[in-house]
Structure 1
Amino acid sequence: MIHEVDAAMRALVEQRAIANDEVEVVFDAPTREWSGRRNSPTIDIYLYDIREDMRRRERGLLNEYGDPDSSEASRVIARHLPPRHFKLSYLITAWTQRPEDEHRLLSELLSCFLRYDALPQELLGGELAALQLPVPVTVALPPPEDRAFADVWSALGGELRPSIDVVVSAPVDTGQHWAAGAPVQEPARINIAGRNGWPAQESYGGSRPRSEPPRDTARVSMRRRRGRRKP
C-alpha cells in the first residue's frame, strides 16, 4: 500500500503541480549528507511517520455477494472485516540554488494539494484502486502534540527548512475473510416424541404440533382446587 501511495504522490506532483521537467522528484531522507550531494532542482517527498487513523476504524463484518449478473446476486457468499486506515505523513521540501526558487516550487505544490480533498482515483493503482475507497489528503495542519517538525529535522541531523506537511489516510485490506455457509433450501424438521401412547408428531420451523392428546380435565381441576387457599 505504501508504495502505491508513493506512486500516486509522484504522479500528482509531476503531472499537476510542476511544469518543469528539470525538477527531480525523490523520496530520500533530507539529511545533511544528502543535501551536500544534491546538484539539481529537487522536490523531496519524505515519508517520516506511519500510524493508524483511529477515527476511521469500523466494527462488525461486511457482506460479500455473488455475481450481480447471476441468480446469486442477492446471496451472501462471504464476510470480511472492514479495511483499516493508516495515516502516512510526508515532509515535502524544495531544493534549489536560490531560496526564491524554492519558495516558488513550494507555492505550486501547496496550490496543487489544496485542489484535492483526496488523491485522484485515476492516479491510484494496485490494491489501493481495487478497494474503490477515497484516499483523503490533509495539507499543512498543525502537528500533533506529541510531535513537532523541529524534532523531525533534529532527528535527520539537518537544518530547519520551509516544508509542507501532507498526510494521506490510506485504506488497507486486513485480509481476514470468511466463507458463508450454504443457504437454507427447506424449513427445518423437528421430531417431537409422543406421550401417553400417542404417536410422534413433526413440526416445521419450530411451530407447534398439528395435534395434541386430550388433556385430563379432572386432574387439572383437582390441582386448581388444591392450590386455592381457604378464606
Structure 2
Amino acid sequence: MTGIGPRERNEGNGTDDRAVSEVIAFVLVFAIIIGSVGILYMTGFQSMTDFQEGEQMRNAERAMSALGENLNDIQRNSGIQERSGELSLRGGTVSTTDGGTELNISVLEDNVTLGSVTYQQDSSLIAYEGGGVFRGVEGEPDQSVVLDRPRLTCNTESKTAVISLINISSDGDERSIGGDDTVEVTIVENKTEVNTESVEDVNITVADDSSSYRNGWSRALNQSGWEWDDDNDTGTCDDAETVTVRIVEAKVEF
C-alpha cells in the first residue's frame, strides 16, 4: 500500500529563475516605455513651442508689413498727412524711438538719424524704419533682413536716383506698450523736405554701429540698384545725373 505523504520540493528546476527573469523583463519594458514617453513629451513640447514662436513672428511680420503699407501713404501722397493701422501685440512689445539707423547721404550736409516703430518678442525684432520693414535679432545687426524695402531708387538708364524716407520723431516722448491687446498706431506728418540736385553720383552710408539692421539696409540698397561696398557700408548710384531726396518727418502715436 502506497502512503500519501508530503512531496519533496524539487530543487533546481528553474521556476524561481524564470519568475525573477519575468520581473526584470517587466521592469525593463516599463522603464523603456516611460523613458520613451518622457523623451517624446520633451522633444514634442519643445518642437511645438518653437513652431508656435515661429508662427507668431511670421504673423508679426505680416502685421508690420500691412501697418507699414498704411503708414507709407503720407510718403506717397502729399495730400495725406495722417494714417492709422492696427498691430496685435500677442505678448510682445511695440515701441517708438528717435535713435535708429543713421544714414550719411552725400548730397546732404547733415546725417539723417531715422526713428523707428519696433515690435519685439524676446530677442526678435521687427521694425518699421525709413519707410521699410526690417527683421532682426537684438544685438546682431548682421543677422537682419529687409522684408519691405524703403524707397531708394537707383536707375542707371534714366541716370536718376530717388531717396525717399520717413523719419519717425518722438520729440523726446518715446513710448512703449506690451501685452496681448491690439494697438492702433497713428502716424502724423510734421514736415517734408525735398532737395533735388545735379550730381555725377550719390552715396548712402550706414554709420558704424548705428543700426540694428545693417545687413537689411545693405540688401535693401543692393536690391534697389545701388552698388554696395561692404568695407565702407556704403551704397553708390553711379552715373546718376539727378538725385531727389525727400525726407518726411512724422510722429507716431498709439
The two structures share one fold, judged by TM-score above 0.5: no
Which has more radius of gyration? 1
The structure richer in strand per residue is 2
Q: TM-score, normalised by structure 1?
A: 0.24
Q: TM-score, normalised by structure 2?
A: 0.22
